[in-house]
Amino acid sequence: MKHTIIVGAGKSGLAVARHLFANGVPSVLTDSNPNPDKNLLSQLAEWEVQGFWGSHPITLLDNANEVVLSPVINPNIPFVQEAIRRGIPVIGELELAHRVLRAKDPTAIILAITGTNGKSTTTDLTAHLLKSDGIPAIACGNIGHTFLDAVNSAESGSRFVVECSSYQLETVHSFRADGATILNLTPDHLQRHGTMTAYLKAKLRIFERQVQTDLSIIPSNADFQTPASPCSQMAKFGWHSIEGQGAWCDQEGNLLFRSADEVITNLINRSELLIPGDHNVENSLVAILLATHGGATVSALRLGLRTYPGLRHRLAFCGEKDGIRAYNDSKGTNVEATLTAIHALNGPIILLLGGEDKGSSYCPLINALDGKLKQTIFLGDAIPMLVRDLGNLPHYICKDFDGAVARAFELAIPGDQILLSPACASFDQFKNFEARGERFEYLVNEWIASK
């Protein structure tokens, strides 16, 4: 019997297995992990999927009609190259989901986002702007909720806001986005793509097969261009007035949007955004363009921009009391991430640092905090290393997480910003960074509710 081969047992692969079983399509799964989890085996058995573990047997290709490749699997592995040599179609979950969606509803709107940084926030924000207008929208793809699962669970009329990684875009063939963007491009994943040229080529596939009613969005200062045809609509975003359709932030911090019919609208000032930093201004500009293309009105854009708190645990605004704002950046588990958070805020900052040390120097934080820092609070197992590197900064030591947060509340006065961006792993006191961030949010809510 002919079967579909699923390569990789991650979230994407399991979504494919579940979908194929629900639609009566025989499949097998192969994964290089020789010791699969018992729960995984139980799930596959429930879906009548046979698993092959520890290698990818070439003999599976003898009865294959298609190979569905998980994003983490390099298409250059011998198993995949042999499938291509035999003429067996090789696709990914992104391509499969697109096929299923277009069969169900050829007019469904797909808004796709790629780039090196900011993909998840822009994806989530775009969906938020659409929902602010009462338009059903699902943030999916590389953001965590698979595109295929979204397609299978969506209500009629939903917009699909899809985060696309370069790995996912490598295996598209018919995928077409009604609106698409490359946010930015800096060196990344070169161990897979080899060169920046190859990396860009993978990213540019997000614009392939667009038609005249579709929209392509790139930075105004991009040193790359979208394919000249067949897409006839182009929009840009940046920090100066855009000719033609686009969005920009002016010198006064106003977010402006020029529509396809040349109408300029002043939406809000960047000071009204709950998500701080220049990078989030850029993310907002792109979300404005995508959400507008998806049907959002100006009033909904204003409402959505003013109310979007950010992705949880990623420099997310989580509460304000007496002019004191608290930000949860628990996902800031290394010095580089914490630097990004510091740069995004103007200060004064009360910075919660510490957790499980990763062995890197904390010294780069010193210059970033210059002129912004009110107090650092060192916590967790990393205290000795923090004192070693940052001991000359104003600091308070409290090993216990709850006590450190309470101390931040005691120190804060109107105008201060309390920032949890630990530059450390969470495992000394928490299961993961999510649990750490959730505890911080709980303590912030308790503080806000207290008299």
Query: pLDDT digits over 414-430, tens only?
Result: 999 999 999 999 999 99
% of the chain beyond a pLDDT of 90 = 85
- Which segments within 250-367 are labelled E, that is strand? 254-258, 264-269, 316-321, 324-328, 349-354
Residue 157 CA to residue 108 CA, distance in Å, equals 7
CA neighbor of 329 nearest in space, from 121, 63, 128, 125: 121
| CA dist 157 → 211, 220, 287 (Å) | 21, 32, 19
Assess contact for 30 and 7: CB atoms under 8 A: yes
Per-residue pLDDT averaged across 282-289, rounded?
98
Residue type, 374: K
pLDDT digits (tens, 9 = 90+) for 315-349: 999 999 999 999 999 999 889 889 999 999 988 99
The 234-238 sheet, strands edge to edge: 137-141, 159-163, 109-114, 179-182, 215-219, 234-238, 246-249, 254-258, 264-269
Per-residue model confidence (pLDDT) at position 118: 87
CA neighbor of 177 nearest in space, from 233, 121, 259, 228: 233
Q: Using CA of residue 170, residue 175, residue 176, residue 180, what is the dihedral sign?
A: negative
Per-residue pLDDT averaged across 283-304, rounded?
97
CA 147 to chain centre: 14
Token pair for 230:
């067949």
Q: Is the pLDDT of residue 381 over 70?
A: yes
Element (H, E) at 65: strand 64-69
pLDDT digits (tens, 9 = 90+) for 28-58: 999 999 999 999 999 999 999 999 999 999 9
pLDDT digits (tens, 9 = 90+) for 91-112: 999 999 999 999 999 999 999 9
Residue 402 CA to residue 393 CA, distance in Å, equals 22
Token pair for 314:
């990623």
Token pair for 91:
């696709």
Assess contact for 353 and 329: CB atoms under 8 A: no
Per-residue model confidence (pLDDT) at position 232: 64
Per-residue pLDDT averaged across 432-437, rounded?
95
Per-residue model confidence (pLDDT) at position 231: 65
Q: What is the largest CA-CA distance in the chain?
A: 71
Token pair for 111:
């808004």
% of the chain beyond a pLDDT of 70 = 98
Q: Is the pLDDT of residue 79 over 90?
A: yes
- Which segments within 222-307 are labelled E, that is strand? 234-238, 246-249, 254-258, 264-269
pLDDT digits (tens, 9 = 90+) for 221-266: 888 776 655 566 899 999 999 999 999 999 999 999 999 889 999 9
If you compute the radius of gyration of the chain from its CA atoms, what whole number of angstroms results? 24
Residue 218 CA to residue 238 CA, distance in Å, equals 9
Residue 272 CA to residue 286 CA, distance in Å, equals 17
Mean pLDDT, rounded, of the chain:
94
Q: How many CA atoms lie within 13 A of 359 on its CB side?
A: 0
Per-residue model confidence (pLDDT) at position 28: 97
Per-residue model confidence (pLDDT) at position 230: 59
pLDDT digits (tens, 9 = 90+) for 174-201: 999 999 999 998 877 888 888 989 999 9
What's the predicted TM-score (pTM) here?
0.87
Angle between helices 433-449 and 401-411 (to 10 degrees): 40
In the block, tokens 């309470």 appear at 406
Residue 338 CA to residue 259 CA, distance in Å, equals 36
Assess contact for 416 and 378: CB atoms under 8 A: no
Residue type, 313: H
Per-residue model confidence (pLDDT) at position 180: 96
CA 68 to chain centre: 23
